[in-house]
Amino acid sequence: MKFLEDRIKKDGVVKPGNVLKVDSFLNHLIDVELMDMLGSEFKKHFYQKKITKILTIEASGIGIACLTARYFQVPVLFAKKTQTVVQDDDKYSSEVYSYTHKCSNHIFISKKYMTADDHVLIIDDFLANGAACMGLIDVVKQAGATLEGVGICIEKGFQDGGKKLREMGIDLESLAIIESMDAETGTIVFR
């Protein structure tokens, strides 16, 4: 995915601790045209799958999930991290550790929005250790739904999340896979 790699090289900032900051176009200030191109790429990869729902986790995955959903003409469901007074207690939930925020979150989705009839495509902005994906896969399993695949914008290939998902036999499409990063030089090497 040359256009995404070029954008990461141009506007991404490598920080100490293997952190890649892409908030100027992907997960804070959102470049909608770029998101639309990424959604189109996910449609090209998963076009033969019977997708009925796009699933992501709040908040960074919502933008790319919405633009991907346009191509599949299906709704987006996002796992919430906080309970509100208007949520009912009839939900699927899982615990997810956030390495970025250094804390665990209980994510959940309402049972009325995912059933055993659903064919789910998980979409997210980053894949590193795979904790968010594993939590989303867990709620898909709880619902008895079919996981059709996982679409990731940026995979940190030097961490083990992608390896875990591939070993599970999951159809994983990562649009840019980073082999290594160096905070001192700002160098990013793609697979």
Tokens describing residue 63: 């933008």
pLDDT at 189: 93
27-63 burial: b if 16+ Cβ within 10 Å, else e = beebeeebbebbbebbbeebeebebbbbbbbeebbbb
Residues 6+ apart with CB under 8 A from 31: 7, 25
What are 67-88's pLDDT values in tens digits?
999 999 999 999 988 665 455 6
Q: What's the DSSP call for residue 182?
A: E
pLDDT at 82: 66
Contact criterion met (CB below 8 Å) for 79 and 107: yes
Provide the token pair at 164: 């875990």
- Residue 143: cis peptide before it, omega within 30 degrees of 0: no
- 110-155 pLDDT, tens digit per residue, is 999 999 999 999 999 999 999 999 999 999 999 999 999 999 999 9
pLDDT digits (tens, 9 = 90+) for 178-191: 999 999 998 999 98
Mean pLDDT of the region 89-101: 79
Helix ranges restricted to H, 119-190: 131-143, 161-167
pLDDT at 105: 82
Give the CB-side neighbour count of residue 5, counting CA atoms within 13 A. Answer: 16
